[in-house]
Amino acid sequence: MSVTAYLGLGSNLGDRFNNLRMGHELLRLPPGTSTQDPPPRGILTHLRSSPVYETAPWGITEQPDFLNCVLEVQTSLSPQDLLRWVKWIEATMGREEGPRFGPRNIDIDILLYANLTIEEPDLQVPHPRMQQRAFVLVPLADLAPRLLHPTLGRAIEDLVANVPEPEGVRRWGAPLAA
């Protein structure tokens, strides 16, 4: 069974745009083509990308601005396999553990997975703070404005209207190529 999922990508270290582009390219590889053990079983197909936005950092503010975008994907990967796949991509790109909300060359979050609600120690879907983050909601609204948040029951476009400082999310570039 294949479902639609939404992934948030962000970068604020190094060549931020190239980091997003590389994360996008790695997501397009067939899962299991890596040396990841065990490789996830299933497929992940990129459907669309939001435009790229530039935003001030959230949480720890003394760091460079982020570039962010949201990808819409179709996948037969389970939520846990999708999580393992994005964590492998982050590690492959050299992401190192650091302070929560700190700087990073790549961050890939599972924002939504179909209309499921998942509460596990290492995976919470929908992303637990997405309704507070304009840098997630604005690009998500570009892709799916009428999509309902699974636990809040509100459309993404309505959440954008009520999120603090949506004007701080500045369009920076075109969507990543499909």
Q: What is the set of active-site residues?
A: 95, 104, 107, 109
Q: Which two tokens stand for residue 114?
A: 């179909």
Q: Residues with Cβ < 8 Å from 71, sequence gap 6 or more?
A: 6, 7, 9, 24, 27, 46, 47, 48, 49, 50, 176
Q: How many CB atoms lie within 10 A of CB 91?
A: 13
**Close Cβ partners of 46 (under 8 Å, ≥ 6 residues apart):** 24, 27, 28, 71, 72, 73, 178
Q: Cβ distance 38 to 85 under 8 Å?
A: no
Are 147 and 156 contacting, i.e. CB atoms less than 8 angstroms apart? yes
